Structure 1
């Protein structure tokens, strides 16, 4: 096995690491200051636009898209170390490089399943970073861990679709630059095949009947940098029938195609979050004294740091293997590994961040360090894109099938 990065990956790694050091990390404090002066907390702070311009100038743009017609044309294996680097500053770096969820998944959907008009109207401005988007799937009234439970109704009425339903935790929807929703609902709620009942439609934000009702907090955070997470009401919202993505009944399959890359991207960034936590732990341990001894000399701190390093190395190898499999045998062939990393990575990174918070004492839960916000994001990923228990259930069934 060859563990070396290829020439293109290494070139982009060097550029991205320099971009992070020179532009992104210094911008973290600037972004917090600028947010206080905004008319709305959901507006994009000016420094983010500066970062986006610089990233485009350096060719660090749309790195996530494997289709070279629209993006960098990188494989999952090439993108993995880059996403890890961006994960060290998840509030700024992914947005700065136009590699932030949910836009990444939405662009992939439009690339794979959108028609020419849909790509021209919505994909092109998303690729240019001119607008943002949201993916409306999760609902408060049902257990959304089972996507077949969705109750939002998409009814055909002549040349239009009429959408009625209630969604929540719709990421990015609070951002005024969010101009388009990809909405998943049922066009055939009584169909025999429960995985052919759902469809996806494009719903512009300004469509009559669409109401962004309120911002949903995550452990008290409103996640301004990602455009928040909103509750959205669709009350007989009408869109042209041409806004259907793919075919009627194809929504479940599109969702699965979207979530595979999304899950591994989250895991890539989570490893970067863990690396940032280890760095902060080491700096804190080297600079603080307790009971006449530097924290760096305390045995329990040694254990935390050593365990974190071992865990990160294990996770990285599993994620890279998964990326390689997705590139060589496809998402379906890598199903076991995708589920494995989705179970293992958030859980382990939450534990690392918890130790880092503990080492920082009161500072760890404060706004003066990124750890508390990183923890909230990592802990949420034990639920997002399918909770751990759903993946465990599916993974166990696949293992047991060999013996039953």
Structure 2
């Protein structure tokens, strides 16, 4: 088994890392000044500035699926990115995760990444021209409206938003929340999941449809906070859809195919989240190690106390193990397809945020009172990471899939145990 990165994998990872060090990290102070002054929901100039530099250098749209993931609708490849594999992109995503606003500089931030893949795989030519092209150009943003406040959306079959045919239009009624991206003034289109046929089979009731954000009846009722942070300028909103009418042409792929689209969208997105999370975890470990060596308590550096040596060692071990599992999942997706990698995707989706949260919890502890303030940005990072235990499916759903797979491997034991039990009963009765 060879763990050596290929020349191409190393090339793109190192280019992204070098760009971050040269163009993004030195502008951190500008980002914080601009993002924390004036209107909260706005376009941040320094990001737009760096986006132009990245695009000029060809560091743009890394995540778009390579040719093997061609559209269901046509066989053209006009709408392409850099054509990285999942494994190649995963390495780049880890580097992007080390600076919170880096992903957008490469036009690689959620939910646009997943939405662009939906357009690429399932959109018509007209839908691609209208929405995918400006998304790939980085001139607009988008949203994904799936989760609802009134039901347990961890089971997406519970979703109640209705999408009803009325002549040449569909009429949409429902309430969504945790609608990522709706606070950005550039957000122009949302992909909405709802029911077109409540009487159909359980996983054929749902459909996905395109809703321009300026359509009458679309109302952002409020922006939601995450552990007290508003997450501007991107943010998450609660959105009401009241008698929203859109043309029938806005339906993606066809009625009843919402789950098919969701699975095509969420698999790669989960890997993206997890690799960025590993990058974030690296920053948490770095902050912890530096702090522990800079402070003295009870006559020696805090880093020399054995409990902290154990915590730092555990952090490094966990990061390395998690990275290997994530790269394995990405490699399986490339080699055998998303469906074959379902178990690995589920495992890494549970493992990555749990691992990173523990590291940041320790890092906050190492910083004492400073850790819970916003002076070191650890508290904000922890709050963002904590949401990933819900995003793209809660831990419990993924753990259920992992466990059921394990039970399935040993299903024959149930029959064997029943036979043994029956034989034992007969022996006793005799």
Band of TM-score, shorter chain: over 0.9
Cα separation, 2, equivalents of 1:105 and 1:168: 18
Aligned residue number for residue 28 of structure 2: 28
Aligned residue number for residue 229 of structure 2: 221
Aligned residue number for residue 116 of structure 1: 125
C-alpha spacing 1:2/1:66, structure 2 compared with 1 (3 Å): farther
Q: Secondary structure at the match of 1:107?
A: helix
In the TM superposition, what whole-angstrom CA distance separates every residue of 1:212-255 from its partner, at most 9, and x where no partner exists? 11101111111114x10000000000011110111110011101
Q: Please report the TM-score for the alignment, with normalisation by the length of structure 2.
A: 0.91
Q: Does 1:65 align with 2:64?
A: yes
Aligned residue number for residue 305 of structure 1: 312
In the TM superposition, what whole-angstrom CA distance separates every residue of 1:3-56 from its partner, at most 9, and x where no partner exists? 222222222222211211122223232122113433x21112111111111111
Cα separation, 2, equivalents of 1:37 and 1:284: 29
Moved more, 115-124 or 15-24: 15-24
- Note the C-alpha offset of 1:208: 0.2
1:5-404 residue pairs with structure 2 within 5 A? 5-38=5-38, 40-67=39-66, 69=77, 70-90=80-100, 92-191=101-200, 193-225=201-233, 227-404=234-411
Q: Secondary structure at the match of 2:153?
A: coil
Answer whether contact 2:66 2:85 (CA < 8 A) is retained.
no
Cα separation, 2, equivalents of 1:365 and 1:132: 32
Aligned residue number for residue 71 of structure 2: none
Cα separation, 2, equivalents of 1:312 and 1:18: 22
Q: Secondary structure at the match of 2:203?
A: coil
Cα separation, 2, equivalents of 1:382 and 1:36: 27
Answer whether contact 2:65 2:117 (CA < 8 A) is retained.
no
C-alpha spacing 1:105/1:148, structure 2 compared with 1 (3 Å): same
Cα separation, 2, equivalents of 1:180 and 1:228: 15
Note the aligned Cα RMSD (angstroms): 1.2
In the TM superposition, what whole-angstrom CA distance separates every residue of 1:331-380 from its partner, at most 9, and x where no partner exists? 11011111111111111111011001111112212222221111111111
Q: Secondary structure at the match of 2:367?
A: helix
Answer whether contact 2:183 2:237 (CA < 8 A) is retained.
yes
Unaligned stretches of 5+ residues in structure 2: 68-76, 412-430
Answer whether contact 2:12 2:88 (CA < 8 A) is retained.
no
Answer whether contact 2:13 2:92 (CA < 8 A) is retained.
yes
In the TM superposition, what whole-angstrom CA distance separates every residue of 1:133-155 from its partner, at most 9, and x where no partner exists? 00000000000000000000001
Write out the 4+ residue segments of structure 1 that deviate beyond 4 Å after TM superposition.
none
Cα separation, 1, equivalents of 2:359 and 2:48: 32
- Note the C-alpha offset of 1:96: 0.9
Cα separation, 2, equivalents of 1:220 and 1:378: 14
- Note the C-alpha offset of 1:64: 1.1
Cα separation, 1, equivalents of 2:161 and 2:119: 21
Unaligned stretches of 5+ residues in structure 1: none
- Note the C-alpha offset of 1:279: 1.0
Pair member with larger Rg? 2
- Note the C-alpha offset of 1:176: 0.7
Q: Please report the TM-score for the alignment, with normalisation by the length of structure 1.
A: 0.97
Number of equivalences: 400
Cα separation, 2, equivalents of 1:401 and 1:299: 43
Answer whether contact 2:172 2:245 (CA < 8 A) is retained.
yes
